[in-house]
Amino acid sequence: MFDVPLTALAPMQDVTTLPFMRLLGKYGAPDLLFTEYFRVHGHSRLESHIVDSILHHGTGRPVFAQLIGESLSDLERTVAAIESAGLPVAGIDLNMGCPAPKVYKKHVGGGLLRDPAKVDAILGCLRAAVPGRFTVKMRIGFEDDRNFETILDLLEKHRVDLLSLHARTVKEAYRSEVHYEYIRRAVERLPCPVLGNGNITSVAKGQQVLDQTGCAGLMVGRHCIRNPWIFRQLREHFAGEAIYAPTLADVRQYVEDLYQATTLPDRKGHFHINHLKKFLNFVGLSVDADGKFLHDMRRTKSKAELDRICDQHLIAGGRAAELYPAEPIKGLVARPNCETSQGCSL
């Protein structure tokens, strides 16, 4: 179907913002970008920061606007607003996978997977409203897979143009193993391309998932926070080229780039450092086996303290030339509150 597998940036709330998209453009952008979700309800408007990410990401890559909601009239209105605003989107993506309780309890995101009849109505509404590509991001079910095959039938019925499938249930969130066999089932059932999503940690893991599922490409979420070179590395792998191997010195520069990218006029001092820790919780998963960087980083309160800790763990004692591990170190985890605050599709 494609000369080489596609790569895609997973939509992540508070992460796939304009600054992070630009940063990936520097480190190696994926083939496809997906925005944070536009919240769709009776009083919703197009959030300006998401509009900015569509207009100004500067990567040269196509970007899909993601929507989350369940009101048919408001979904239609939002698609029309995107069209009338002339936003240069490659398509509209529907979120049917967000596992955050505050989301699924409102019967949107992953909560929709409990109600195939509602899914049928929403897919039909959006297929009629979207003039171009209409795509879906979903999980394999809410608490089990009881509706999986039915929803695959609905995706085919409504001629969805691409499916991104995170192969866990909503209730499993990010804790369980990923059930990649469901991606293969979707590939075998659907005429549209399927992107495999869920714990794509490295080039080697990505190739394993491609081989196991036959999917058309890979969607990467939290592991491009940990390793912003992953899309470049995948592209080099698919081309049969030497794969870039970052050092801890490169990681040190990445931390500085993250700090600059997350700088806002109203985000200063320890508020800025605490926001940055959401990203560094993932970066630290590949720094040291004893988790000392994570321990020390989480206790910093200023840029000066953070610089000292980063220099100590990433630069000092000859560490600068060490290669940054491709995989997260076993036994290390991001703090649950940090992971949850990242929102959907990690």
Tell me the per-residue pLDDT of 49-98, one tens digit each, with 9 for 90 and over. Answer: 999 999 999 999 999 999 999 999 999 999 999 999 999 999 999 999 99
Q: Partners of 7 in the beta sheet? A: 218
Does the pLDDT value for residue 117 go beyond 60? yes
Question: Is 333 domain-assigned?
Answer: no
| Confidence at 256, pLDDT banded by 50, 70, 90 | very high
Same domain flag for 131 and 234: yes
Does the pLDDT value for residue 340 go beyond 80? no
Q: Is 98 a catalytic residue?
A: yes
Question: Is 338 domain-assigned?
Answer: no
Tokens describing residue 225: 């926070």
Does the pLDDT value for residue 343 go beyond 70? no
pTM: 0.94
Question: Is 332 domain-assigned?
Answer: no
Q: How far apart are CA 49 and CA 266, in angstroms?
A: 15
Q: What is the pLDDT of residue 2?
A: 75
Same domain flag for 290 and 160: no
Long-range contacts of 228-233 (CB under 8 A, 24+ apart): 228/23, 228/24, 228/27, 228/28, 228/254, 229/27, 229/28, 230/28, 230/200, 230/202, 230/203, 231/7, 231/9, 231/24, 231/27, 231/28, 231/29, 231/30, 232/27, 232/28, 233/28, 233/202, 233/203
Q: How many domains does the chain have?
A: 2
Does the pLDDT value for residue 336 go beyond 50? no
Question: Is 281 domain-assigned?
Answer: yes
Same domain flag for 278 and 204: no
Same domain flag for 189 and 130: yes
Domain final position from 188, 204, 238: 238
Q: What is the pLDDT of residue 1?
A: 61
Question: Is 243 domain-assigned?
Answer: no
Question: Is 339 domain-assigned?
Answer: no
pLDDT digits (tens, 9 = 90+) for 120-152: 999 999 999 999 999 999 999 999 999 999 999
Reported residue count of the chain is 346
Question: Is 341 domain-assigned?
Answer: no
| % pLDDT > 70, the chain | 96
Does the pLDDT value for residue 172 go beyond 50? yes
Question: Is 151 domain-assigned?
Answer: yes
Same domain flag for 139 and 284: no
Same domain flag for 186 and 131: yes
Same domain flag for 303 and 179: no
Same domain flag for 36 and 161: yes
Same domain flag for 270 and 234: no
Same domain flag for 83 and 175: yes
Domain final position from 238, 272, 300: 238
Mean pLDDT of the chain: 95
Domain extent, residue 313, equals 248-323
Same domain flag for 57 and 204: yes
Does the pLDDT value for residue 344 go beyond 60? no
Tell me which of 98, 125, 215, 310 is the catalytic residue. 98
Q: Give the CATH number of the domain where residue 25 resides.
A: 3.20.20.70
Same domain flag for 224 and 181: yes
Minimum mean pLDDT among 263-267, 287-291, 327-331, 333-337: which range? Answer: 333-337
